[in-house]
Amino acid sequence: MRTLVQPGTPLQPRRLLEWAAPALDLRVRLASGQDLLSGLVGALAARGITHAAVQVLSADIARMAYLTGAEDPSGARVATYGPPTWLAGPVTLLGANGILGPGPDGDILLHCHAVVVDADGGLHGGHLPPGDCLLGASGAVALATPLREAAFAAAYDSETNYPLFQPRKIPA
């Protein structure tokens, strides 16, 4: 198994785990014409939910971009994102997982990776940049699991030189 030398000193512990309390899940239906990620962030925020695990169960997409990984030519990090790949619709989402939580500046982010099939039957997948996934006619359905007592919040990670979601206890 190949490992990579990260820009910063390895941090301990290597595995982090915090316990969150179970809560009722929410099935969220998004109407067409909005962005998948900002639509979910906005809909959940309106219900007071800013920390969640999200599964997108279905989505019809009119146009979208995704990013895949690449080596970082600057050497500042072991990997970065390449340029976006744009897909014209109709694109059918097959699955997507997301983590909702506050980003480095406190704004709520949905970190989401998806696998989709394009209009010609080709498979694609990667990181979804916010604002670049316009929902088509039948919109999207997602299952959100709110995280209480513990959740993810972004903080600068000196090992990887990225701001990353970290498990955190949430004060009641």
Partner 1 sequence: MSETATFEEGRLERIAVVRIRPNEDLVTAVEAACREHGLQHAIVRSAVGSLVDAVLEAGDRVIEVAGPGIEILTLNGELRSGADGEVVADLRGTIADGKAQVYGGRFRRGENPICITLELVLQEWVPA
Residues that bind partner 1 (CB under 8 A): 1-4, 6, 10-11, 14-22, 53-55, 66, 68-71, 77-82, 85, 94-99, 111-115, 123-127, 145, 147, 150-152, 157, 159-160, 162, 164-167
Bridge partners, 108 (sequence order) = 102
Whether 89 and 32 have beta carbons less than 8 Å apart is answered as: no
Residue number with CB closer to partner 1 (110 or 135): 110
CB 41 within 8 A of CB 51: no
Which residue has tokens 């080596």? 71
Residue 32 or 118: the one with the smaller Cβ distance to partner 1 is 118
Kindly report the backbone phi and psi dihedral angles of residue 119, in degrees, each rounded to the nearest multiple of 5, phi listed first. -65, -20
Q: Nearer to partner 1 by C-beta: 18 or 132?
A: 18
Q: In angstroms, what is the minimal distance from the CB of 155 to partner 1?
A: 11
Q: How far is the CB of 90 from partner 1 (least distance, A)?
A: 18
> Shortest Cβ distance from residue 135 to partner 1 (Å)?
19
Of 31 and 85, the one with the shorter C-beta distance to partner 1 is 85
* Pairing mode, strands 85-102 and 69-70: unpaired
Contacts of 74 (CB under 8 A, 6+ apart): none
